[in-house]
Amino acid sequence: KQEVTQIPAALSVPEGENLVLNCSFTDSAIYNLQWFRQDPGKGLTSLLLIQSSQREQTSGRLNASLDKSSGRSTLYIAASQPGDSATYLCAVVGFSGGYNKLIFGAGTRLAVHP
């Protein structure tokens, strides 16, 4: 059974710092990995999608890497801003029971203070 773990569970940093959020998964047979952002009481916003054949994806100040063999992904946030404060969720997609299923980690709650 696929399990996704995110470390740290919470993070509080001053504005401007570069951050690394970690995600690990137990079953390397994944289709892809997605990083999401969730603001309190809101739905999910997709940040980056990395296909299993890729090693990284970049979008603005965000960079996500994937090492499928070791079951790890990192989300790098450069020059953090207060507006980055949110919960960041990592999720892997595996083909199970005839469908692409998304399994989530518990998330990292990020607070960036001015």
Partner 1 sequence: GAVVSQHPSRVICKSGTSVKIECRSLDFQATTMFWYRQFPKQSLMLMATSNEGSKATYEQGVEKDKFLINHASLTLSTLTVTSAHPEDSSFYICSADRGRLSGELFFGEGSRLTVL
Q: Does 62 bind partner 1 (CB under 8 A)?
A: no
Please report which residue ranges of the chain form alpha helices under DSSP H. Answer: none
Binding mask 73-92 for partner 1 (x = CB under 8 A): ----------------x-x-
Decide: residue 14, CB within 10 A, 0-12 exposed, 13-18 middle, 19+ buried.
Answer: exposed
Q: Which two tokens stand for residue 47?
A: 């940040």
Decide: residue 52, CB within 10 A, 0-12 exposed, 13-18 middle, 19+ buried.
Answer: middle
User: Segment 17-46, which members bind partner 1 (CB under 8 A)?
Assistant: 31-32, 34, 36, 41-44, 46
Least Å distance, CB 79 to partner 1, is: 25
Which residues of the shown chain bind partner 1 in the complex (CB under 8 A)?
31-32, 34, 36, 41-44, 46, 49, 51, 89, 91, 93, 97, 99-107, 109
